[in-house]
Structure 1
Amino acid sequence: MTAVCRCLVAVAVAAYALASAPVAHANGRRPTPTDVRFHPADDDWVLAAVTFGFLLSTDGGATFEWVCEDAACPGDGGFNGCDTFDPVYAIRPDGTIFNTTIFGMHVSRDGGCTFAPVGGPLDGRFVGDIAIDRDGVVWAVTSDGASPNDVYRSADGSTFAQRNLHIDTGWFDTIRVAPSDPNRVYVSGWVPPQPDGSGGFSPAQTLLFRSNDGGATWTAVTPAGLPAEAKLFVEVVDRTTPDVVLARVPGDPDVTKQSLYRSTNAGATWSRVLSLTAEVANQSDPPGRIRVTQLDDGRYLAGSPLGGLHRSTDGGATWAPVAVSPRVWCVRQRGDGALFACSENWDPDMELDPSVRAAVVRSADGGDSWTPVMRFSEIVGPKQCPAGTAQAEICAGARWCTLAAMFGIDPGPACGGSGGDAGPSGDGGPGGDGGPRADAGSGGGGGTCGCSLAFASALFVIPRRRRRRRRRP
């Protein structure tokens, strides 16, 4: 075994040990996929958000490159802006990528190499959600806990303006635009208990607003049928009937579950249609949430990491479990009809169906069967970007060396690896047959180890100074 090999193995073993600790790696959490997004005009372009940045494919999911958090979430004072929450990503038809960070909404106009603040009224604001309608109009809601909040809109993806929904107390959590009518917009939020002037507190308030004219005016909706003081997160507006809305409520009917509620009258009344175990036992995981998507044929799919995948064939009124179910951190349909889900990269016993163990899985039959798309051990390398960018100077250097060692990937010559086509040799990550390989990076050659144990510890475990923000349930 060469010195390079021994060094990389040591880093991999250290990463494995750190992965098993109560405080995990990426942002203090276990590496997990959190969402998948598609280019509206190019089905080959797939973005998989993960707890350690995002993975980008330009060949339909055949290969994925890594963009680290330092590039995806520019920060302040040397600390990136992803913090311990998962950014929301959205992509315009022209390929512009937007995301949310604790230092404001950011945008990339060069395919993910660099991200910069959108500026204007959103500069430095905590953006809770982003939506892009069929015409490429970008919508955003702010979610600052101690500042007034509003809805913002941009027709060109560059210049944002307020859209007449200013609130002084509380915050906005979600915004959705009806696929069939870009003038129909839903915004949800929450007002926490407020001092009532007599030593007590008023009840929390569920916020729901609806616009029928593209945000020129708004109607405050008092939603009936929800639990008292519910936090309402709008998930989907029906593709053809904008009065039909599906939303999730965390902590309902108990703290271990989330429920899916359905409205057929534009949010006026709601009924619970599905409850799933959603909370995850390991606090290093991202929050478990019900995720919902509607397919082109009108059917709905909904799932959670511990609750499995369920299907509705009657517009969301009733649901039944799908026979072959991955863990569901996200589920979305691509423009060509293929269904993608964020799933479980690690051990088979952590997957509801071990045959589909992968970070990203795909279905060609509406969710009846699934095939692996990508495991973390199959990341081909860091995205190649111009010199001087954070991606080139930070992500593609020592950050990549450590990540590759942890997942058992030949990192290439820059880290002391072979630089050849390492190919996947395991399923990546701690435990089972997917643990770090003993021969990682041993493709011959000498050189020095590109990543130290100290750096591995610093990247994945040592807590960073953070601006505390609410963690979305």
Structure 2
Amino acid sequence: MLRSLLPALFTLSMVIVTSTAAAHGPFPQTTRVTFHPSDPNTILIQATFGMMITHDGGNSWSWICYEAVGFAFEEVLIAQPTSTILDDGSVVVASRRGLSRGTPDACTFASPNEALEKAFLVDLERHPSDGASAFVVTANARTENLVYGTADNGATWAPTGDPIDAVLFESLSVAPSDSTHMYLTATEPITAQNDTYRTLFYRTDDSGASWDRLEVTDPDTGSYLVLLATKPTDPNVAVMMDLNRLDYTARRLYRTTDGGDHWSRITDLEGKRITSATWSTDGTALWFGGSSGTGLWVSSNDGATVSTVNADLEVYCMNFRDGELWTCSNQFTDGFAVGRSSDGGETFTGVFNFNDIRGLVECDDDSQVESVCAVQFLD
């Protein structure tokens, strides 16, 4: 994952923001696109230097710095947070430093749960059909972990079930067609009690009340598993990647069609720097994308075979809505930081560039965003 702001190439406002970020971290990159569950004009983009939000379908974009959310820039450099937007407009952000929830105007952020305020969190997923609900998982190899859920736009959070193992959870996926089905990946490091490094897969079919644990034996020691997507029309079909812990590059991709009982390699993509995957809403197309010359690939059979659809595109995230494929891309090589395609990824129209940021979200002078983020504009 890449983290930073852009160099001084654009408008005056972005030059000011950029100069601050450039002093702290590496290259700017968009990393996540989230659509509001009921308002098509509201879109949240996550990047290495903060979050951008639009309420007018992309005509104007406003910036939220991570410091206002409650995360120091140096912490974000280590690991990108994950974010989502809920039905009432609340932006929720999870990181290795805890959980933070913003007011619907995104001006003030605070932890909504004492147990999660400083918890080590690795993934956050919104409920696929209930925009007021979301899930987050803790990751601690020294004590048992929990999956927490909210049903009131992030105002309150509670465990979905009993504690799970003391392992390092890595990712969480909620099945779009049946939210009672959820998946987790984890690693069990070598300890005094455990002399074997294990890569693990967990699943539930009762909304997280209980979890089945399965060991995935194919990945090499020194890697970990990250869930990429679950098929929108079949909760038993999912894809994940095996990442190298040293350089965070994908070694292999896997697919399951039986809820994780068996995994098979997607051999056509071995050695590619895959970063993300997404299905079309009807489940007929599955795209894989990556960086460093990987390009964009598509499959019509859930990853059994794949073919190149756009060899030149840099892809750092993907999402799908209303017949359009959206990607986080490289503004400097692709011409856009976020784009969308209505022809399956062959051509793209730019939706967002860094110079589209008009400034901070509009807040009172004494708000967190105004008091913390404005300093970066003036630094």
TM-score, normalised by the number of residues in structure 2: 0.86
Note the alpha carbon deviations across 1:380-426, whole angstroms, 9 max, x for none. 2221112211211232x34124xxxxxxxxxxxxxxxxxxxxxxxxx
The equivalent residue for 1:430 is: none
Out of 290, 308, 329, which is 2:295 matched to? 308
Q: Name the counterpart of 2:315.
A: 328
In structure 2, relative to structure 1, the CA distance for the partners of 1:242 and 1:140 (3 Å cut) is same
Distance 1:185 1:380, change over 3 A: same
Whole-angstrom CA distance in 2 between matches of 1:50 and 1:384: 19
| Residue 92 of structure 1, CA deviation | 2.0
Which structure is higher in strand share? 2
Task: Find the aligned partners of 1:67 and 1:111 in 2 and give their Cα distance.
Answer: 11
Question: 2:146 is matched by which residue type in structure 1?
Answer: D
Matched residue, 2:251: 258
For 2:277 and 2:310, the matched residues in 1 are separated by: 17
Supply the distance in 2 between the matched residues of 1:319 and 1:58 (Cα, whole angstroms): 36
Aligned residues: 360
User: What is the distance in 2 between the residues matched to 1:255 and 1:26?
Assistant: 24
2:136 match: 140
Question: 2:377 matched to 1:400?
Answer: yes
Letter in 2 for 1:191: E
Equivalent AA in structure 2 for residue 218 of structure 1: W
Structure 2 CA distance, aligned partners of 1:104 and 1:255? 22
Q: Is the Cα contact below 8 Å between 1:74 and 1:115 reproduced in 2?
A: no
What secondary structure does 2:115 align onto? helix
Q: Which has more radius of gyration?
A: 1
SS at match of 1:82: helix
Distance 1:293 1:323 in 2: 15
Q: How does 1:16-415 map to 2 (within 5 A)?
A: 25=22, 27-74=24-71, 82-133=76-127, 134-136=129-131, 137-144=133-140, 146-156=142-152, 157-164=154-161, 166-167=163-164, 169-195=166-192, 202-223=195-216, 225-227=218-220, 230-251=223-244, 257-273=250-266, 274-278=269-273, 290-298=275-283, 299-306=285-292, 307-323=294-310, 325-334=312-321, 336-346=322-332, 351=333, 356-395=334-373, 397-401=374-378
Give 5+ residue unaligned stretches, structure 2.
1-10
- Normalised to the residue count of structure 1, the TM-score between the two structures is 0.70
CA RMSD in angstroms comes to 2.8
Distance, in Å, in 2 between the alignment partners of 1:26 and 1:264 is 46
Deviation at 1:38, TM superposition (A): 0.9
Q: 2 CA distance for matches of 1:162 and 1:255?
A: 30
AA partner of residue 161 (structure 1)? A
Aligned AA for 1:379? I
Query: Match for 1:373: what amino acid?
Result: V
Q: Distance in 1 between matches of 2:248 and 2:375?
A: 40
**Deviation digits for residues 94-138 of structure 1, max 9, x if unmatched?**
322211134311111323222111223212102111112112322
Instruction: Provide closer, same or farther for how the CA distance between residues 255 and 381 of structure 1 changes in structure 2, counting only shifts above 3 A.
Output: closer
Contact persistence 1:224–1:270 (CA under 8 A): no
Does the 8 Å contact 1:183/1:211 carry over to 2?
A: yes
Q: Determine helix, strand or coil for the equivalent of 2:32.
A: strand
Offset of residue 52 of structure 1: 1.0
